[in-house]
Structure formats: C-alpha cells, structure tokens
Amino acid sequence: MVSTAGTPKNFTYLVIGGGIAGVSVAAELAAAGESTVLLEQESQLAYHTTGRSAAIFLETYGSRIFRLLTHYSRDFYLNSLRDDPPLIAPRGAIFVARDSGLAKLRKLHDEVAQLTDSVRWLSAEDLRREFPALREDWVAGALEPDAKDIDVHALHQSYLRRFRRGGGHVVCNSPVLAFRREADIWVVQTPQCVYRAKTLVNCAGAWADEIACLAGLTPLGITPLKRSAILARVDLEMAAWPYIGDVEESFYFKPSKQGLLISPCDETPEPASDVTADEMDVAIAADRFETALRGKVISVQARWAGLRSFAPDRNPVIGFDPRCDGFFWLAGQGGYGIQTAPAMAELAAALLRQARLPAFMDRNEIGLEEISPTRLCGANSAKELCHVS
C-alpha cells in the first residue's frame, strides 16, 4: 500500500497514467502553474508501453499526422544535445522494399522529403553497396540519416523532474476504481483515498477506453495491439548499422550495445494487460531476420512485448470529449508516443488550459478536427450523462 500522507486531494487536473504521455503533459501543466496530480495503477511509472519502446526518432514512421508531430518534436530533441547526458544519439534509419512494396516506399519517400531534405532514395545497387548482407529481393530503400536513438528512461525522468519542480504530485499503486460528478468536479476513488479535480486527463494507454467506461462514456474504439520483440546475438557485425525496417511492416531491426533488437511488427489484438512474447513470437522474429538478411540468429538474450494502442483511423486522440465536461483524451499514440511526446504534450496542455496553441499549429498542417475525440463519437457526440454513482 502506498502512503498518500502529505498529498493534497484537490486539484485542477488529474492525469491518469504514468507513461510518457501522462508525465509529459503533467509536466507542461505544472510548469504553467497548474495544480496537478498524476495517478499510476502500477508500482512504478512507465511500466507498460513506454518502458518497452524501440526508442527511435523517425520522421519516416507512421501516418501523416504522426510524422508531422514527430517533425514538430525535432527541435526539442536536438536541443537536448546540450544536456548531460543528451536524450538522443546518432543512428540513422532505412526502410527497404521488395517489388510488392515499391509504390508504398516511393510514396513514403516523397511525403517525408517535404518535411526533411536529408531523406535519400537508394536503388538496388545502392543497397547492395551499403548493406551487402541484405538479400537480393530488396529492390530499393529510403534512407533517413538524421534518425536518432532516444534514451527513453532519460526522457521520462526529465519530464518527471520538471513535473515535480512545478509542484506536481505522483501517486503510484493507485488504479482508478470509480468516478462520480459533484457539480462541475470529478470525484475519483482509488484504493487509498478520494481525489477531486476539475479536469480528468486520460493518458491511460491501452486502458484508455476502460477509463472512459468508468466515467460513463461509450468507448472510442481504441484497440490495444501486441507487438513483440527479441534481443538477439547474430552472426553479422551490425553495431554500426542504422535501424532497418520493411516498408510493408514485416520486421524491423535495431542495433544496440546489448545485441540486435528484432521485431516481426506483429499487431495482435489483446485486452489491456501485462503482455509477453511467447515461443512463436520468438521463432517468427528470428525467421524474419534470416529471411531478410544473409545471417543467422545465434541466441536470444531477451524477449518482451508491449501494447500499441490505436484509434480506428490510426491517428492520435487529443482533446476534450464533447459528451462530458472536463474529460480530456491524450491517447491512441500507437507506436509513436515517445518520438511525438514533446509536440503532443505541448499541444495537449494548451488545449487543456485554453491557451494559445503552439506555433507549429500555425502552419495549418494538422486540423484539430483530425485529432479530436469528436471525430470518433459519430452520432453520439451529444452530451452523455457521466457516471454519478
């Protein structure tokens, strides 16, 4: 049981979820002087998806909106190079295609070239020259030389320190048991005590729809999808290689000091839970590596899985729910929550505080209607009776 002695019980904002989404937006709110508490159901923060991330900054990854949010986060990460330790390190990335994925790769290259002029098209001959271990059926690649490794732990801790400096409170071992409304205040029941807040911020990741249901709202259809990975020792020297991904998403490989991270890019629907990689996941990951490259997996040092949660249109959900006052969504980040966290947190905090939107929104490249939960409410966008029992 965690002690909440000394923790106030009345706040302007109550953030649910201690992953990167929750900690980053909480930090932005606290830095603006807003009284904020963050509740985490586990005994430690960032236990689920955040703590199992591939930790890569890729402007060639995800939907148009996720790529833009990643691009808007670039300056945050580049500025961190002055930190000790910095949050990022050089890596580079390449997406490769067989004949079946060539059109998709060309489209990706052309779209990303509008964001960054460093992206480069690689012919089959270029691939053979730069990555001779790739098998012959890979016919083209899109190289993003400016892709970076992200120190996820350092990123999360930097936001956590900022949150606490702003007077924010963190309470772990505090799953939400029930909500009710008293006038314009949310009353939140946890195993330890009751909190009151004007606004709830739903950063619960795979549990986001469950939190909505507790509040008496119809869920938005945010689906947790399991993605597995292994850390392997292989018979190729790949330490200096970039991140390599199949544009048709059958695998990605990422070198690390401990070995080679291999994922089969699986997306298996799973209920929100503490998921793991099984023997079949391990076998598929190893096979994808050996099919793509002239190499062998010698041993598997670790295996794990995480839940990547997507809205039906695979874009993030950021904004107030139109059906219930004081209920804000920051969810549906899929596999892009780390690299987009700075921009998403800044945007979400501005929307929460009804403050001026970040300067990057002046470019009119993302419409608020494209990320608002309203788009997923359909005919049910009218006010609903929030849970009051």
What would the two tokens of residue 300 be?
């598997």
What would the two tokens of residue 108 be?
């990706």
Cis peptide before 271 (omega within 30 of 0): no
Q: For residue 302, how many C-alpha atoms fall within 13 Å in the half-sphere facing its CB?
A: 9
Residue 157, helix vs strand vs coil: helix
- Nearest-angstrom CA–CA distance, 365 and 218: 30
Topology annotation, domain 92-148+223-310:
D-Amino Acid Oxidase; Chain A, domain 2 (3.30.9)
CA angle 329/185/346 to nearest 5° reads 35
- Contact (CB, 8 A) for 113 and 105: no
The reported pLDDT for the residue numbered 379 is: 56
What would the two tokens of residue 90 be?
């050089």
Phi, psi of 84 (to 5 degrees): -130, 105
- Nearest-angstrom CA–CA distance, 27 and 165: 9
The reported pLDDT for the residue numbered 380 is: 56
CA distances from 169 to 8, 174, 288 (A): 8, 12, 44
Residue type, 301: Q
CA angle 169/170/173 to nearest 5° reads 145
- Nearest-angstrom CA–CA distance, 362 and 161: 30
pLDDT for 172-210, tens place per residue?
Answer: 999 999 999 999 999 999 999 999 999 999 999 999 999
CA distances from 139 to 27, 121, 124, 135 (A): 45, 11, 4, 9
Topology annotation, domain 10-50+153-222+314-380:
FAD/NAD(P)-binding domain (3.50.50)
Predicted TM-score (pTM) of the model is 0.93
- Nearest-angstrom CA–CA distance, 123 and 129: 10
Which ranges in the chain are annotated with CATH 3.30.9.10? 92-148+223-310
195 burial class (0-12, 13-18, 19+ CB within 10 angstroms)? buried
Q: If you count them, how many residues does the chain have?
A: 389
- Nearest-angstrom CA–CA distance, 241 and 261: 12
Residue type, 80: S
Q: CB-based contacts of 387: which residues, under 8 Å, 6+ apart?
A: 178, 179, 180, 181, 214, 215, 216
Q: Which pLDDT tens digits describe the chain residue by residue (389 residues)?
A: 344 555 669 999 999 999 999 999 999 999 999 999 999 998 788 776 565 677 899 998 899 999 999 999 999 999 988 877 899 999 999 999 999 999 999 999 999 999 888 999 999 999 999 999 999 999 999 999 999 999 999 999 999 999 999 999 999 999 999 999 999 999 999 999 999 999 999 999 999 999 999 999 999 999 999 999 999 999 999 889 999 999 999 999 999 888 999 999 999 999 999 999 999 999 999 999 999 999 999 999 999 999 999 999 999 999 999 999 999 999 999 999 999 999 999 999 999 999 999 999 999 999 999 999 999 997 555 555 554 44
Nearest to 60 by CA among 126, 150, 148, 123: 148
- DSSP states of 90-107 as a string? E--EEEEE-GGGHHHHHH
Which ranges in the chain are annotated with CATH 3.50.50.60? 10-50+153-222+314-380
